[in-house]
Structure 1
Amino acid sequence: MNSPAIVLMFPGQGSQHARMAVGLYGHQPEFTAAMDEVFAAFGTEGEAMRADWLADHPAVPLDHVTRSQPLLFAVDYALGTMLLQHGVRPWTLLGHSIGEMVAATLAGVFSLDAAAVLLLDRVHRLADAPPGGMLAVAAGADALTPFLTDEVVVAAVNSPRQTILAGPSGPLATVAEALREAELTCRPVPSLTAFHSPSLAAVTAGAVDRFAATPMAAPRIPLYSGYRAEPLTERVATDPAYWSGHPVEAVRFWPALDAILSRRADVLCVEAGPGQGLSTVARRHPAVLARRAAVVPLLPPRAGAPEADRDSVAEALATVRDRIGDARTHSR
């Protein structure tokens, strides 16, 4: 019996919450060391980020772009590093939004120091974006075409029945009202920025030069693009325009996941990030429903006591080890 093909999934904007994964800090050595490494890479801003991450009442709200993006990157990266150091050998990596930067860093496209500089440049640019937001709608993207405008667009296709819209605050509120009048269920995504929408084009225009000045390499671990729903080749992985365009481009998580799960049976999807948003989506995939694939989230579905983080990770690691160990035992 072959070992399951492990897909590491890294969540992005909207999955952040107060004190996410804090229960692991100081208790899980690989996670703790990786978090400290990321905060050090953020330089003079790292200590303020750490303080807000650990605080019950952060000085800067975690939904603000200068906190949500760096802290999501840090937590995802630390969990991914922990898995790699525990001997997990991924078949492929798949990130959602900022999660793809994490995947690329773990795969060696960027060094951690380079990724931190690029991320800080991004969030400083986005901090100047017009007020905006994101909206999760329980409907397919095609069904939402009548509600879209030049400003309010599809920001992410998470599943056949979950689409994220984004746009400036005023127009997005108008679309939300129209959706509710049409009896479509929708809820705000935790974000003060209209990620993956044209409203960010102006403030991110100069980012391509920063990427062009950054050394990039071919992925050492296979990497799937959550924007193009296909493997990330060396040519694309080292293309500055590809990375600098992410804040404006729509995320195609479901098509990417579908492409991955269609390639082979016996896949284990491990969500390395706060919450269980990607796990919830993956559990609806036909391959998972047919038990050709399985899903393991590392962290609890929502914020809780610090012990819940530790218990959840311990249980998840045991499950992954059992799956790998069972396959190795049967193959002897």
Structure 2
Amino acid sequence: MARTLAAIDAVRPSTEHTVTRLLTDPGALGPDELLTSDPLAFDLATYAGAVACGTVLRHSLRCRPQLIMGHSVGDIAALAVAEAITPETGARILSARHVLLGSLPSPAASDGAGMLALALPVAEVTGLLTVTGLLHTHAAADNAPQQTVVSGPLRELGILYELVRTAGVRCTRLASRAGYHHPQLTPIAEGLHTFLSTVDLQTPTIPLYSSTLAGPVHTHAQLRELAGHHLTRPVMFQASLRDLYRRGIDVFVDAGPGALLSPLIRATLPTATVISPLRGHPGLHLVERRLQALKGRSV
């Protein structure tokens, strides 16, 4: 983990907000404060945590999955864990994206954009957006049978938030730098694609699966595009999980720090085995014990 964090820190001029400090010092800034004061450090720390944890599970614990899948911007971390890119290259991609996103209004600005998570199926959310005339808000992620994320202008999100809360539906404002998975980010996506065309890419040591395409990615062109899908394409996480299950994969390891995706997987696939080896603050022996369920299974 230390080597991974140091490699990512080396890409960026040293500041008090290095990812090593952010992820290991209890006195470092928290996510909400960091998102406002240093969004690039927030992005890099999120990425670094996922890459470091995924790398440890792959190599130190000899956990070899059949496929690796990211979620949203986690596709960049997935590329690094699968060794299609180096950890440093992923950090450079995020740095280039940071520069491109600098042209957008601040999330706090009146003309800014954001994201909401609603405890509703995607079909109901899509119908609700049509009926209410919120034409610039789109489904950004179909995460689970009862969780849909939408992306759009803050004005429309405010209307939707009040509407669904009045109806007794759970709705959560997501801390987000932009309204991701939205067609309005097409110019940003085009700029990032130009940068990605210059990035060194290797054949992944483990195959990658795209949760935006709900299918595997094979060619180098597809792998390059994968790193930018979070900008304009919706995440089809639920459809991806069901497709993988049909392919015979019935064990899913939530490889990031914590257990953010595990509840979504369990809600979508109640009969699958879902393991969150790094939830809480486990020691190495506890992590290894949690991974015993992987023996002889399709992960």
TM-score under structure 2 length normalisation: 0.84
SS at match of 1:183: coil
Matched, 1:182 2:167: yes
CA-atom RMSD in angstroms: 2.5
Counterpart-to-counterpart distance in 2, 1:194 and 1:127: 13
Matched, 1:276 2:240: no
Offset, 1:147? 3.5
For 2:66, give the aligned amino acid: W
Aligned partner (choices 34, 38, 43) of residue 62 of structure 1: 34
CA drift at 1:98 = 1.8
Tell me how far apart the structure 1 counterparts of residues 114 and 186 of structure 2 sit (CA, whole Å): 15
Q: Give the counterpart letter for 2:53 in structure 1.
A: L
Distance (whole Å) between structure 2 residues aligned to residue 55 and residue 200 of structure 1 = 35
- 2:66 maps to which residue? 91
Partner of 2:2: 32
Q: Which amino acid aligns with 1:264?
A: G
Shift of 1:242: 4.6
Judge which range, 208-217 or 60-69, deviates more.
60-69
Match of 2:110 in 1: none
The answer to whether the Cα contact below 8 Å between 1:94 and 1:103 also exists between their aligned partners in 2 is yes
The structural deviation recorded for 1:310 is: 3.1
Listed as ranges, the matches of 1:106-117 within 5 Å are 106-117=81-92
Could you list the runs of 4 or more consecutive aligned residues of structure 1 that deviate by over 4 angstroms after TM superposition?
none
Whichever residue aligns with residue 310 of structure 1, its letter is: P
Which of structures 1 and 2 has the larger relative contact order (alpha carbons within 8 angstroms, sep 6+)?
1
Deviation of the 1:251 alpha carbon: 1.1
The CA deviation at 1:215 is 2.2
Deviation at 1:283, TM superposition (A): 1.4
Among residues 200, 216, 239, which one is paired with 1:255 in the alignment? Answer: 239
Is 1:173 the equivalent of 2:158?
yes
Partner in structure 1 of residue 116 of structure 2:
135
Separation of aligned partners in 1, 2:62 and 2:238: 28
Partner of residue 296 from structure 1, selected from 275, 279, 294 = 275
| Alpha-carbon displacement from aligned partner over 1:166-199 (angstroms, at most 9, x marks no partner) | 1222221122112223332211122232121233
Please list the CA deviations of residues 34-86 of structure 1 after superposition, one character each: whole Å capped at 9, or x if unmatched. Answer: 2222222x321575233444353529823344233211110000001111222
Q: Partner letter of residue 99 of structure 2? A: H
Supply the AA of the counterpart residue of 1:316. Answer: V
1:80-137 per-position Cα deviation (integer Å, ceiling 9, x unaligned): 1111222111111111012111111122222222222111111232243222221110
CA pair 242-150 structure 1, distance change in 2 beyond 3 A: farther
Between the two proteins, the alignment pairs up a number of residues equal to 281
Q: Secondary structure at the match of 1:165?
A: strand
- Aligned to 2:79, the other structure's residue is in SS state helix
Q: Is the contact made by 2:4 and 2:87 (CA closer than 8 Å) also made in structure 1? A: no
Map Cα deviations across residues 191-230 of structure 1 (whole Å, 9 max, x no partner). 2321212333334431111011112233220111011010
Q: 1:324 to 1:163 in 2, by over 3 A?
A: closer
Q: Which amino acid aligns with 1:170?
A: R
Gaps of 5+ in 2: 108-112
